[in-house]
Protein backbone atom coordinates (compact mmCIF):
# COMPACT_ATOMS: atom_id res chain seq x y z
CA UNK A 1 0.00 0.00 0.00
CA UNK A 2 1.28 3.46 -0.85
CA UNK A 3 0.90 5.79 2.14
CA UNK A 4 0.33 8.76 -0.14
CA UNK A 5 -2.66 7.01 -1.73
CA UNK A 6 -4.34 6.22 1.60
CA UNK A 7 -7.46 8.31 2.23
CA UNK A 8 -7.39 11.00 4.91
CA UNK A 9 -10.19 11.85 7.30
CA UNK A 10 -11.46 15.35 6.61
CA UNK A 11 -11.23 17.88 9.45
CA UNK A 12 -8.88 15.58 11.34
CA UNK A 13 -5.65 16.60 9.64
CA UNK A 14 -4.31 18.55 12.62
CA UNK A 15 -0.83 17.17 12.16
CA UNK A 16 1.32 15.67 9.47
CA UNK A 17 1.41 12.15 10.89
CA UNK A 18 -1.26 9.77 9.65
CA UNK A 19 -2.23 6.80 11.85
CA UNK A 20 -3.37 3.38 10.65
CA UNK A 21 -4.15 0.36 12.84
CA UNK A 22 -2.88 -3.11 11.96
CA UNK A 23 -4.91 -5.84 13.69
CA UNK A 24 -2.94 -9.06 14.09
CA UNK A 25 -4.18 -12.50 15.14
CA UNK A 26 -7.87 -12.07 14.37
CA UNK A 27 -9.83 -15.31 14.74
CA UNK A 28 -13.16 -15.03 12.90
CA UNK A 29 -15.28 -17.13 15.25
CA UNK A 30 -13.76 -15.71 18.42
CA UNK A 31 -12.61 -12.13 17.81
CA UNK A 32 -15.08 -10.59 15.35
CA UNK A 33 -16.91 -8.41 17.87
CA UNK A 34 -13.77 -7.09 19.55
CA UNK A 35 -11.98 -6.55 16.24
CA UNK A 36 -14.97 -4.55 15.00
CA UNK A 37 -14.75 -2.44 18.17
CA UNK A 38 -11.03 -1.87 17.56
CA UNK A 39 -11.79 -0.75 13.98
CA UNK A 40 -14.66 1.51 15.09
CA UNK A 41 -12.46 3.05 17.79
CA UNK A 42 -9.71 3.66 15.24
CA UNK A 43 -12.17 5.34 12.88
CA UNK A 44 -13.94 7.46 15.50
CA UNK A 45 -10.74 8.62 17.19
CA UNK A 46 -8.77 9.92 14.23
CA UNK A 47 -7.13 7.07 12.32
CA UNK A 48 -7.04 7.01 8.54
CA UNK A 49 -7.51 3.28 8.11
CA UNK A 50 -7.46 -0.26 9.39
CA UNK A 51 -5.56 -3.31 8.18
CA UNK A 52 -6.74 -6.80 9.13
CA UNK A 53 -3.55 -8.76 8.51
CA UNK A 54 -3.18 -12.43 7.67
CA UNK A 55 -6.95 -12.91 7.65
CA UNK A 56 -10.10 -12.05 5.76
CA UNK A 57 -13.45 -11.29 7.36
CA UNK A 58 -15.83 -9.99 4.71
CA UNK A 59 -18.67 -9.38 7.17
CA UNK A 60 -16.42 -7.22 9.34
CA UNK A 61 -15.21 -5.26 6.30
CA UNK A 62 -18.81 -4.67 5.17
CA UNK A 63 -19.79 -3.48 8.66
CA UNK A 64 -16.95 -0.96 8.93
CA UNK A 65 -17.47 0.32 5.38
CA UNK A 66 -21.21 0.74 6.04
CA UNK A 67 -20.47 2.74 9.20
CA UNK A 68 -18.10 4.96 7.23
CA UNK A 69 -20.67 5.55 4.47
CA UNK A 70 -23.37 6.37 7.03
CA UNK A 71 -21.38 8.36 9.60
CA UNK A 72 -18.97 10.05 7.19
CA UNK A 73 -15.27 10.57 6.73
CA UNK A 74 -12.73 8.62 4.71
CA UNK A 75 -11.50 5.48 6.41
CA UNK A 76 -10.04 2.59 4.48
CA UNK A 77 -10.30 -1.09 5.44
CA UNK A 78 -7.76 -3.49 3.98
CA UNK A 79 -7.52 -7.23 4.68
CA UNK A 80 -5.75 -10.38 3.66
CA UNK A 81 -2.20 -9.07 3.44
CA UNK A 82 0.51 -10.45 5.72
CA UNK A 83 1.67 -8.55 8.79
CA UNK A 84 5.26 -8.84 7.58
CA UNK A 85 4.58 -7.28 4.18
CA UNK A 86 2.64 -4.44 5.84
CA UNK A 87 5.47 -3.76 8.29
CA UNK A 88 8.13 -3.90 5.55
CA UNK A 89 6.14 -1.58 3.26
CA UNK A 90 5.44 0.87 6.07
CA UNK A 91 9.09 1.04 7.12
CA UNK A 92 10.28 1.33 3.50
CA UNK A 93 8.16 4.48 3.16
CA UNK A 94 9.61 6.03 6.32
CA UNK A 95 6.74 5.09 8.60
CA UNK A 96 6.91 4.33 12.31
CA UNK A 97 5.66 1.12 13.94
CA UNK A 98 4.04 1.36 17.38
CA UNK A 99 3.25 -1.91 19.14
CA UNK A 100 0.65 -1.58 21.91
CA UNK A 101 1.54 -4.05 24.65
CA UNK A 102 1.22 -4.20 28.43
CA UNK A 103 4.98 -4.89 28.51
CA UNK A 104 6.09 -1.70 26.78
CA UNK A 105 7.22 1.71 27.94
CA UNK A 106 4.50 3.24 30.09
CA UNK A 107 2.74 6.10 28.30
CA UNK A 108 2.33 8.00 31.58
CA UNK A 109 5.73 7.54 33.19
CA UNK A 110 8.02 7.81 30.14
CA UNK A 111 8.57 10.27 27.30
CA UNK A 112 7.64 7.66 24.67
CA UNK A 113 4.70 9.65 23.30
CA UNK A 114 6.93 12.69 22.71
CA UNK A 115 9.45 10.50 20.90
CA UNK A 116 6.72 9.03 18.69
CA UNK A 117 5.46 12.51 17.77
CA UNK A 118 9.01 13.72 17.13
CA UNK A 119 9.62 10.87 14.69
CA UNK A 120 7.45 12.69 12.09
CA UNK A 121 6.70 9.46 10.18
CA UNK A 122 3.22 8.11 9.58
CA UNK A 123 2.28 5.68 12.34
CA UNK A 124 1.19 2.07 12.04
CA UNK A 125 -0.18 0.80 15.36
CA UNK A 126 -0.04 -2.96 15.92
CA UNK A 127 -2.97 -4.18 18.00
CA UNK A 128 -2.80 -7.89 18.76
CA UNK A 129 -5.71 -10.23 19.26
CA UNK A 130 -3.91 -13.25 20.61
CA UNK A 131 -0.40 -13.68 22.01
CA UNK A 132 1.92 -11.97 19.55
CA UNK A 133 5.17 -13.48 18.29
CA UNK A 134 8.31 -12.42 20.20
CA UNK A 135 9.65 -10.76 17.06
CA UNK A 136 6.99 -8.03 17.44
CA UNK A 137 8.96 -6.65 20.41
CA UNK A 138 12.21 -6.32 18.44
CA UNK A 139 13.57 -3.47 16.29
CA UNK A 140 12.96 -5.66 13.27
CA UNK A 141 9.22 -5.05 13.72
CA UNK A 142 8.43 -2.28 16.19
CA UNK A 143 10.06 1.09 16.64
CA UNK A 144 8.18 1.60 19.90
CA UNK A 145 6.63 -0.85 22.37
CA UNK A 146 4.19 1.21 24.39
CA UNK A 147 1.88 0.32 27.25
CA UNK A 148 -1.20 1.95 28.68
CA UNK A 149 -0.39 0.99 32.24
CA UNK A 150 1.41 -2.27 32.87
CA UNK A 151 -1.58 -4.43 33.75
CA UNK A 152 -3.72 -6.79 31.66
CA UNK A 153 -6.42 -4.82 29.83
CA UNK A 154 -8.42 -4.67 26.62
CA UNK A 155 -6.63 -3.86 23.39
CA UNK A 156 -9.58 -1.65 22.46
CA UNK A 157 -9.15 0.48 25.57
CA UNK A 158 -5.39 0.67 24.99
CA UNK A 159 -5.96 1.97 21.46
CA UNK A 160 -8.53 4.54 22.64
CA UNK A 161 -6.25 5.90 25.36
CA UNK A 162 -3.23 6.01 23.03
CA UNK A 163 -5.17 7.95 20.37
CA UNK A 164 -6.67 10.32 22.92
CA UNK A 165 -3.22 11.08 24.34
CA UNK A 166 -1.69 11.41 20.88
CA UNK A 167 -4.35 13.85 19.64
CA UNK A 168 -4.57 15.58 23.05
CA UNK A 169 -8.36 15.17 23.12
CA UNK A 170 -8.94 17.11 19.89
CA UNK A 171 -10.27 14.02 18.09
CA UNK A 172 -13.36 14.07 20.33
CA UNK A 173 -14.71 17.19 18.62
CA UNK A 174 -13.91 16.21 15.03
CA UNK A 175 -16.55 16.38 12.36
CA UNK A 176 -16.79 13.89 9.53
CA UNK A 177 -17.65 15.12 6.05
CA UNK A 178 -20.23 13.32 3.91
CA UNK A 179 -22.04 12.02 7.00
CA UNK A 180 -25.60 10.89 6.34
CA UNK A 181 -26.33 10.88 10.08
CA UNK A 182 -24.95 13.22 12.75
CA UNK A 183 -25.59 13.03 16.48
CA UNK A 184 -26.74 16.26 18.08
CA UNK A 185 -25.24 16.31 21.59
CA UNK A 186 -27.73 17.07 24.37
CA UNK A 187 -28.22 16.49 28.09
CA UNK A 188 -31.04 13.95 27.75
CA UNK A 189 -32.52 11.74 25.06
CA UNK A 190 -31.25 10.95 21.60
CA UNK A 191 -31.28 13.39 18.71
CA UNK A 192 -29.81 12.89 15.24
CA UNK A 193 -29.70 14.92 12.08
CA UNK A 194 -30.30 12.92 8.90
CA UNK A 195 -28.91 14.49 5.75
- Secondary structure of 58-83 as H, E, C letters: HHHHHHHHHHHHHHCCCCEEEECCCH
The reported pLDDT for the residue numbered 8 is 36
The reported pLDDT for the residue numbered 29 is 67
Those residues with Cβ within 8 angstroms of residue 85's Cβ, 6 or more apart along the chain or in another chain:
none
Closest CA to 34 of 47, 20, 21: 21
Classify residue 3: in a domain, yes or no: no
pLDDT tens digits, the chain, 195 residues: what are they? 444 443 333 333 345 789 999 999 877 767 778 899 999 999 999 999 999 999 999 999 999 999 999 999 999 999 999 999 999 999 999 999 999 999 999 999 999 999 999 998 999 999 988 889 999 999 999 999 999 988 888 999 999 999 999 999 999 998 899 999 999 999 999 999 998
Q: Biggest alpha carbon distance in the chain?
A: 50
Please count the other Cβ atoms lying within 10 Å of the Cβ belonging to residue 62. Answer: 11
- Looking at the structure of the chain, the number of domains it has is 1
The reported pLDDT for the residue numbered 7 is 35
Those residues with Cβ within 8 angstroms of residue 32's Cβ, 6 or more apart along the chain or in another chain:
26, 57, 59, 60
Q: How far does the chain reach from its first CA to its final CA, in angstroms? A: 33
Classify residue 85: in a domain, yes or no: yes
Classify residue 124: in a domain, yes or no: yes
CB under 8 A, 24+ apart: contacts of 147-152:
147/100, 147/101, 147/102, 147/103, 147/104, 147/105, 147/106, 147/107, 148/100, 148/102, 148/107, 149/102, 149/106, 149/108, 150/102, 150/103, 150/106, 151/102, 152/102
Classify residue 167: in a domain, yes or no: yes
The reported pLDDT for the residue numbered 107 is 96
Give the domain extent around 70: 14-194
Classify residue 2: in a domain, yes or no: no
Those residues with Cβ within 8 angstroms of residue 78's Cβ, 6 or more apart along the chain or in another chain:
1, 49, 50, 51, 52
Quote the crossing angle between the two packed helices 28-44 and 58-71, to the nearest 10°. Answer: 20
Classify residue 8: in a domain, yes or no: no
pTM, rounded to two decimals = 0.89
What CATH number has the domain bearing residue 66? 3.40.1280.10
Total residue count of the chain as it appears in this document? 195
Classify residue 6: in a domain, yes or no: no
Residue 14's Cβ-side half-sphere holds a number of Cα atoms within 13 Å equal to 15
Torsion sign over Cα 9, 34, 161, 101: negative
Classify residue 1: in a domain, yes or no: no
The reported pLDDT for the residue numbered 130 is 83
Amino acid sequence: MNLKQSPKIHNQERRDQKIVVLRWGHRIHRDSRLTSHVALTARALGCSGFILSDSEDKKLKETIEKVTRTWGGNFFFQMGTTWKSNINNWKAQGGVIVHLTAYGENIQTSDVLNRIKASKGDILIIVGSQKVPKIFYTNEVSDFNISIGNQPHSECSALAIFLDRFFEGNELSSSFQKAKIKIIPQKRGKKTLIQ
